[in-house]
Amino acid sequence: MSNRDVIAHLLRRPLAWARRLEMFVPLGLRQAGKGKTSQKDGIKAEPSLKTNPGFCPICEKETEFVERHEWLRDHYLCARCKSIPRNRALIHVLGMIFPDWRDAKIHESSPSGPASAKLQRECKDYTPPHFWPNVKPGDSKYGIRCENLEQMTFADNTFDLMITQDVMEHILNPVKSFSDIARILKPGGAHVFTVPYYYWKPTLIRAVETPDGIKYLEEKQFHGNPVDKEGSLVVTEWGPDFVDRIYRESKMTTAIYHIKDRSLGIDGKFLEVFVSRKPL
């Protein structure tokens, strides 16, 4: 895929990204937030909005962080790049643990938003596939490579780093995904990712794949998907057994970074960043 294709793809995303932001807000809070976000690009214009100064890990500049809604996870924005806290947490942890990431060979599955745009701009060797069920993995759609996270077409030991942002809760066969991610990473490589982490309750499986199709064990719930207007089905609410599960399926050991730091614009719920390393 050419760089022009990738850039065109990223530029097509703002609307989808905006939809994605809205969809993770719990139902009870959606109504409360209405009206506060009506000014599309006027984040600084509303005097009622709370702000604090800080340093944005994505812009890498001094900025103002603006609270547009009490659900900070999706509405505590950098006034410069409009990133949200989990974007900044991911890039902050990536820079802290892998300071040479710009020279690494990076695969990001289902990229979207300002963190992906930064990786695209600054990483010399960045591969950003999406998944469409009706496209053969390895082929392209709109110039973007199609890959199924459960069975990728990349060779073994291909990438230094794998990135996913709020993707692993949507995978129907996470067992296969974790082992396939380990397969395509080089020894010593790592999967750096965000996922909503319900550390206070057991893992909840909301849907399973059967020979007759998807069986829903809980009420259907969707998050925004930049390449599918139907959204992505939430399959798993990962609980405290998550890192043991990853180890069992992939032999990767996982560290969890939970950062709350307003000077970096990182505050809110579900901001854990996971780093799973493939053994050397």
Residues that bind Zn ion (CB under 5 A): 56, 58-59, 78, 80-81, 83
- If the CB atoms of residues 116 and 276 are measured against Zn ion, the closer one turns out to be 116
- If the CB atoms of residues 88 and 170 are measured against Zn ion, the closer one turns out to be 88
> Shortest gap between Cβ of 63 and Zn ion (angstroms)?
5
> Shortest gap between Cβ of 96 and Zn ion (angstroms)?
17
- If the CB atoms of residues 85 and 189 are measured against Zn ion, the closer one turns out to be 85
Report residue 269 CA to chain centroid gap: 14
Report residue 90 CA to chain centroid gap: 8
- If the CB atoms of residues 55 and 132 are measured against Zn ion, the closer one turns out to be 55
> Shortest gap between Cβ of 20 and Zn ion (angstroms)?
18
- Alpha-carbon distance of 50 to 251, in angstroms, equals 44
- If the CB atoms of residues 88 and 107 are measured against Zn ion, the closer one turns out to be 88
> Shortest gap between Cβ of 92 and Zn ion (angstroms)?
11
> Shortest gap between Cβ of 61 and Zn ion (angstroms)?
7
